[in-house]
Every structure is written in structure tokens, then in C-alpha cells.
């Protein structure tokens, strides 16, 4: 099996493991990008794939010194990459780092080096044009096929009140505070995710109490099993992101993997997806009504069929084969 440098080799985001499996299925073994692995593979012209490198200096869990050292580390690796790699790929996940505030110096420098050393820029979504790769679903093709055929799991009653869910890390750029200011009190809303900003968390709870919303929020990390249960009993998942920093959304692909419809604010991403899928709705949250949600709802089985047709693991492997080979 051929080797391929894959950075990062481990991550809490399932995107990494799913893509590593896809690469293995087409004959490539992902290995860590480190000095030791570079030396041991010299002369083999091993391909290299980078994810999120330009975003790394803006992580919330690091200080200024570590941000600088991370930048230097990646600049060195980028500079020496022509010595050990024949194919260099840069997966671009975001328009800009989510946690950036003003100064994008490190981001701009890393991007400039990636371009100068001829890394092939591959976007995570096709709506931007150029070369792209699909974001994978969070269930395998086999698991999704079973869900499509499991009729009992996808029975829909038009009279049933529709349930909406927001999940994931609660950060200001995702726009939850704006959503809560607009959200109709008569529609049930479940919020699950951890907020590390105590002041922001307090602000969100005050909005819920002040507006007397039918909303519940458990401020804590959501396990995979808990999220699975939440998605299976929710009709809509909400994407209220305020800025245009994201090219793609893992929340979107996680939600449609379980047949959930999507409610979203207007963005390049949401407009592209709404043109492609009837289960994606670009809405004004303040104007939502229970009847409107019932009218636009698409059965879970149809959502899964659409998801599988466009974002299957088989399709993902085909994308990688075109990019790497």
C-alpha cells in the first residue's frame, strides 16, 4: 500500500478518520507528517494532504507564543515539502479562521507559502468552483441504505409538532444569540453543546428567560450516542451562522445523515445547498410558524436518499482518486 502524509493524522472531528478510511480504500495508507516520517520516506515522493493548517495559529486553546511556533512549524514543513513530496494538496475548509479577531498575519503568510510552493488548493465544496472534494456523511453507505429501507423509523405524521435542534460547540460566530432573539416562543427548540465563554453563556440564558422561549439548553459536551438519539428525534437542525468564515458545515452533513431537515440563514453555503436539496430551507427565523414547519417538512427517508446520492463514501473515494492519482 502506498503511503500518504495526512495532517492532522488525528482530530476530534470525524472528518479526519472518515477520509483516512476513504484513502485506505483506494490504496493509500495515511501517515503522520513529522520529521521522522519524512526522513524514513525520503526518495519515495510521498503525496501530502494538509487540513486546517492556516487556521491552527488561531486556536482558542493556545497563547501568542504557541501560535507563533505553530506558524513557524508549518512554514518549515511547507518549504521543505518539494524535497519529499510529488503531490501536494491543501484542503481549504474555511474562508478565514473562526476564532480570528482582526489580525490575520499568520493566516495570510501560511496561505502565501502554500500558494508559492504550489500546493493544489482543493475546496471542501464545489459551489466555489475549481477543484473540490465532498464533505462526507457521518454514516457509512451501508448504514444509510438500511435507514432508507427502515420504514418504521421514518414514518411522518403531518399533525405532529416539529422539533428543532441546535447542536455543537456554542461559539459566538455561530449566531445563537441572534437566533434566540428571533426564535418564535411557540416552537420547541433544543440546544445541546458546550459554551466555554461564561459571559456569552449567561447572555444566552437571559435571552431565553426574557423572551420566555420554549427552549432547553444543556451546557455540556455531547457524546456520540447522545447526539445520535437527538438527531433521530429531531425534525429540523438549525444553522444560524452569522459570518461567512465557513466554506462547509459538518453540522449540515451530520444532520442529513440522520434524515433531519435544515433551517439556515442566508450564506453562500446555504444558498448552494438549498438549490440542490428541497430539505434545505433558507429562512427568516422570526417568521417561522408551527404550520410552516409542517408544510415544508420532507420525510426522513427522502432526506437520506438525497444525502446518499450526493455525499456517499463511494463518491468520496472517487474524489480522492481524481485528486491524488
Size of the chain in residues? 325
CATH homologous superfamily of domain 141-310?
Answer: Glycogen Phosphorylase B; (3.40.50.2000)
Confidence of residue 242 (pLDDT cuts 50, 70, 90): low
Q: Residue 156: phi, psi to the nearest 5?
A: -120, 130
Identify the weakest region by mean pLDDT among 3-7, 8-12, 97-101, 273-277: 97-101
Residue 167's nearest CA partner among 144, 149, 185, 193 is 193
Predicted confidence at residue 204, as pLDDT, reads 97
Q: What is the mean pLDDT of residues 304-308?
A: 95
Question: What's the CA gap between 123 and 9, in Å, rounded?
Answer: 19
Helices 14-25 + 313-324 axis angle, to 10: 70
The string of pLDDT tens digits covering residues 76-134 is 999 999 999 989 999 999 888 876 667 799 999 999 999 999 999 999 999 988 889 99
The string of pLDDT tens digits covering residues 147-204 is 787 654 545 444 478 999 999 999 888 899 999 999 999 999 999 999 999 999 999 9
Contact call for residues 91 and 51 (beta carbons, < 8 A): yes
Q: Percent of the chain beyond pLDDT 90? A: 77
Q: Residue 307: phi, psi to the nearest 5?
A: -65, -45
Question: What's the CA gap between 152 and 138, in Å, rounded?
Answer: 21
Q: Reduce the secondary structure of the chain to three states and give it as a string.
A: CEEEEEECCCCCCHHHHHHHHHHHHCCEEEECCCHHHHHHCCCCCCCEEEECHHHHHHCCCCCHHHHHHHHHHHHHHHHHHHHHCCCEEEEECECCCCCCCCCCHHHHHHHHHHHHCCCEEEECCHHHCCCECCCCCCCCHHHHHHHHHCHHHHCCCCCCCCCEEEECCCCHHHCHHHHHHHCCCCCCEEEECCCCCHHHHHHHHHHHHHCCCCEEEECCCCCHHHHHHHHHCCCEEEECCCCCCECCCHHHHHHHHCCCEEEECCCHHHHHHHHHCCCEEECCHHHCCHHHHHHHCCCHHHHHHHHHHHHCHHHHHHHHHHHHC
Contact call for residues 228 and 259 (beta carbons, < 8 A): no
**Average per-residue pLDDT for the chain:** 91
Predicted confidence at residue 103, as pLDDT, reads 78
Top-level class of domain 2-123: alpha beta
Two domains, one topology: 2-123 and 141-310:
yes
CA angle 207, 202, 267 (to 5 degrees): 60
- The domain segmentation of the chain, as residue ranges, is 2-123, 141-310
Residues 6 or more apart whose CB falls under 8 angstroms from that of 231 comprise: 165, 167, 237, 254, 255, 257, 258, 260
Amino acid at each position: 500500500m502506498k503511503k500518504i502524509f495526512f495532517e492532522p493524522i488525528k482530530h476530534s472531528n470525524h472528518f479526519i478518520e472518515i477520509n483516512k478510511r476513504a484513502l485506505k480504500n483506494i490504496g493509500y495508507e495515511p501517515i503522520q507528517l513529522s520529521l521522522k516520517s519524512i526522513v524514513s520516506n525520503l526518495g519515495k515522493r510521498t503525496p501530502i494532504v494538509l487540513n486546517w493548517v492556516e487556521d491552527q495559529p488561531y486556536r482558542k486553546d493556545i497563547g501568542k507564543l504557541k501560535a507563533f511556533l505553530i506558524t513557524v512549524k508549518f512554514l518549515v514543513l511547507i518549504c521543505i515539502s518539494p524535497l519529499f513530496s510529488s503531490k501536494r494538496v491543501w484542503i481549504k475548509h474555511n474562508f478565514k479562521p473562526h476564532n480570528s479577531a482582526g489580525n490575520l498575519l499568520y493566516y495570510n503568510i501560511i496561505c502565501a507559502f502554500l500558494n508559492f510552493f504550489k500546493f493544489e488548493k482543493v475546496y471542501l465544496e464545489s459551489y466555489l468552483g475549481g477543484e473540490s472534494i465532498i464533505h462526507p456523511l457521518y454514516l457509512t453507505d451501508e448504514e444509510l441504505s438500511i435507514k432508507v429501507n427502515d420504514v418504521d423509523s421514518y414514518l411522518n405524521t403531518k399533525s405532529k409538532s416539529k422539533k428543532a435542534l441546535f447542536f455543537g460547540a456554542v461559539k459566538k460566530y455561530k449566531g445563537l444569540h441572534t437566533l434566540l432573539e428571533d426564535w418564535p416562543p411557540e416552537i420547541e427548540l433544543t440546544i445541546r453543546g458546550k459554551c466555554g465563554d461564561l459571559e456569552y453563556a449567561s447572555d444566552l440564558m437571559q435571552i431565553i428567560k426574557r423572551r420566555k422561549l420554549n427552549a432547553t439548553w444543556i451546557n455540556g459536551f455531547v457524546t456520540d450516542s447522545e447526539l445520535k438519539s437527538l438527531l433521530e428525534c429531531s425534525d429540523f437542525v438549525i444553522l444560524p451562522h452569522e459570518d461567512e468564515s465557513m466554506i462547509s458545515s459538518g453540522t449540515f452533513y451530520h444532520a442529513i445523515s440522520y434524515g433531519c431537515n435544515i433551517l439556515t440563514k442566508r450564506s453562500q453555503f446555504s444558498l448552494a445547498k438549498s438549490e440542490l436539496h428541497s430539505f434545505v430551507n433558507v429562512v427568516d427565523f422570526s417568521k417561522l410558524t408551527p404550520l410552516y414547519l409542517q408544510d415544508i417538512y420532507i420525510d426522513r427517508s427522502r432526506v437520506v436518499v438525497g444525502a446518499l446520492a450526493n455525499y456517499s463514501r463511494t463518491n468520496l473515494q472517487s474524489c480522492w482518486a481524481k485528486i491524488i492519482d
